[in-house]
Amino acid sequence: MSNDFESNDTMPDFAKVGQPVPEFTMEAFDPAEGGFTEVDLGALRKEGKWAILFFYPADFTFVCPTELADLATRHEDLKKLGAEVISVSTDTKFSHMAWRSDERMLENVKFKMASDPTGEVSRFFDVWDFETGLALRGTFVINPEGVLVSSEINFYNVGRNADELVRKVEANTYLIDHPAEVCPAKWTPGEKTLTPNDGMVGKVYEALND
């Protein structure tokens, strides 16, 4: 089965922060179950889950296993926040299975490894590199309502930090229940947030240190 987008007349050309993401499916390898499965964004929404799409260039490369291993260390924390973690590359599900088996750095990877061999999903999230046919290092967080709330894209030579991803998801899960508030830089759970108002203009220092 190929990647399948649910299309409509209002579907954007590219994913945009603050805008809904169309439902789609992807074939995947599930390390936790040891077999093949399918990622279904529509099903995740019905379950009320956050979706984290973690694009990387290719299996059997060099920075990629370090990133997936790092992500695996925070996988349980993200699950506790109600998030489904999905890694994505343009490799086949068979390649994912072989790489997961061969590469010792991936022994703790339990999240689903989705396949985008046609590049359709990668193009929609604007991480597709037309010169190489690979995906750049893109991380996208989609809330349970199907809205893209966070987007990060790195070039091939810089790996990401799973701790910062967890912090972003923590902030976004807090804000979905407190929409009048905003989280300042480096905010972590339990720290002070801000509630913007006209009296705070030019007085953010005072608001944070009151």
Q: How much is the pTM?
A: 0.93
Q: How far apart are the first and last CA of the chain?
A: 57
Of the candidates 63, 72, 50, which has an alpha carbon nearest to the alpha carbon of residue 168?
A: 50
**Which residue type does 47 have?**
E
pLDDT of residue 139: 98
Percentage of the residues of the chain whose pLDDT score is greater than 70: 94
Looking at 3.30.1490.20, 3.40.30.10, 3.40.50.1000, 3.30.450.40, the CATH number of the domain 4-160 comes to: 3.40.30.10
pLDDT of residue 210: 83
Residue 69 confidence (pLDDT) above 70: yes
pLDDT, mean of residues 61-65: 98
pLDDT of residue 2: 44
Of the candidates 189, 150, 166, 144, which has an alpha carbon nearest to the alpha carbon of residue 77?
A: 166
* Alpha carbons 67 and 75: distance in angstroms, whole number: 12
CB proximity list for 59: less than 8 A, separation 6 or greater = 89, 91, 95, 96, 98, 99
pLDDT, mean of residues 86-108: 98
* Alpha carbons 113 and 46: distance in angstroms, whole number: 21
Domain ranges, ordered by start, for the chain:
4-160
Q: Active-site residue numbers?
A: 64
pLDDT of residue 202: 97
Q: What angle do CA 52, 57, 60 make, to 5 degrees?
A: 110
